[in-house]
Amino acid sequence: MIVLKTGRELTLMREACRISAGALKVIEQAIEPGITTGELDRIAEKYILSQGAKPNFKGYHGYPATACISINNEVIHGIPSVTRKINAGDIVSVDLGATINGYHGDNAATFAVGDISAEAKRLIDTTRESLYEGIKMARAGGRTGDIGYAIQSYVEARGFSVVREYVGHGVGTALHESPEVPNFGTPGRGVRLLPGMTLAIEPMINIGKPNVKVMPDGWTVLTCDGSLSAHFEHTIVITPDGPQIMTKL
């Protein structure tokens, strides 16, 4: 079932989205060579709790942390650890969310630490830009396939590939609601988009092949070919006047 949110519900949900965006910002400001992913996780959790919210990934299907922190060839769902140091030259994907008022926010970004290769920079820029291409198509009367097609065509024209096994999703009173929002697709296909829909759009893009595998820890998703991967995500709402990004400060 797809839930359309009323204005009152959106007001409550905006708070969760604002705190989610704030937590991503505090990680961005703290990230530097030598810091561990476990320390970054603690910083984000402290911030979310200080706002009166709760980290919504923690405990989700048994997930043990506030943030997912995925480095280089790790695509998503990397588990923070106080023994895992971030190095200059790494690209670091951070995904997290907060819940308050019974509503959820969800967002992600990939950060460059120190000097990174030109190719890594192009991957990060392309992934961020593809998210905005997808958001542009999140309009009442369109379909989820319009969003997926916009992301996929933007990314593939630049020689990168779209991960298929993980997709965007509805978000609201649950972290994951209907519909699924794939980062690939065909214009005019998929679920019809309506005002009041709140969606997490989240392209995961690889430099090499699209194939991914899960590590023995049961969470961390890696590229099969070892190539770098980037991830950006916003929670948006479809209004009668077009898409509005909710996870923005």
The stretch near ligand MF3 (CB under 6 A) out of 7-15, 57-65, 144-152, 157-165 is 57-65
| Alpha-carbon span 210 to 165, nearest angstrom | 9
Does position 177 interact with ligand MF3 (CB under 6 A)? The reply is no
60 binds, among ligand MF3, Co ion, none (CB under 5 to 8 A by kind): ligand MF3
The stretch near Co ion (CB under 5 A) out of 56-64, 104-112, 123-131, 221-229 is 104-112
Beta-carbon count within 10 A of 114 CB: 11
| Alpha-carbon span 164 to 179, nearest angstrom | 16
Q: Name which of residues 103 to 122 contact ligand MF3 (CB under 6 A).
A: 106
Tokens of 182: 């794939």
Tokens of 31: 């990230």
Does position 8 interact with ligand MF3 (CB under 6 A)? The reply is no
Note the Cα 248 to chain centre separation in Å.
13
Does position 57 interact with ligand MF3 (CB under 6 A)? The reply is yes
Q: Taking the complex as a whole, how short is the minimal distance between the CB of residue 182 and ligand MF3, in angstroms?
A: 13
Does position 177 interact with Co ion (CB under 5 A)? The reply is no
Does position 180 interact with ligand MF3 (CB under 6 A)? The reply is no
| Alpha-carbon span 154 to 79, nearest angstrom | 30
Does position 200 interact with Co ion (CB under 5 A)? The reply is yes
Residue whose pair of structure tokens reads 């699924």 in the numeric block: 180
Cα 178-184-185 angle, rounded to 5 deg: 80
User: Which residues contact ligand MF3 (rule: CB under 6 A)?
Assistant: 57, 60-61, 63, 68, 77, 95, 106, 169, 200, 202, 233
